[in-house]
Amino acid sequence: MQTLIIYDSTGKIYYQASGAVTEPTGIPFLWVDVPEGKYIKSVDISGATPTAVLEDIPKSDIDIKIQEIYVALAELAEGAV
């Protein structure tokens, strides 16, 4: 999903939006393609070209419990064979 990021000279994000968004004039911005399961943490401005810093979306408690159930079911199925 293409996301418009507006950031400052330290790389802090002030605004992000997707969809029919107008590019700003006179302030730094970046278009970023955000893969599923990731979010934009900040903008790395240390290089010649600013780049988005992406991180994994943390798993929720429900996601963790579901994974534990899948593991337990797999162990049960393995023991039944």
Q: Which residues contact 52 (CB under 8 A, 6 or more apart)?
A: 5, 30, 32, 34, 40, 42, 43, 44
pLDDT reported for residue 78: 85
Which helix or strand (DSSP H or E) is residue 14 part of? strand 13-18
Asked if residues 23 and 13 have their Cβ atoms less than 8 Å apart, the reply is no
Tens-digit pLDDT profile for residues 2-43: 999 999 999 999 999 998 899 999 999 999 999 999 999 999
| pLDDT interval class at 81 (50, 70, 90) | low
Return the closest-CA partner of residue 52 out of 27, 23, 28, 19: 28
Residue 1 confidence (pLDDT) above 90: no
Any idea where the domains of the chain sit in the sequence?
A: 2-80
The model's pTM: 0.68
Tens-digit pLDDT profile for residues 56-76: 999 899 989 999 999 999 989
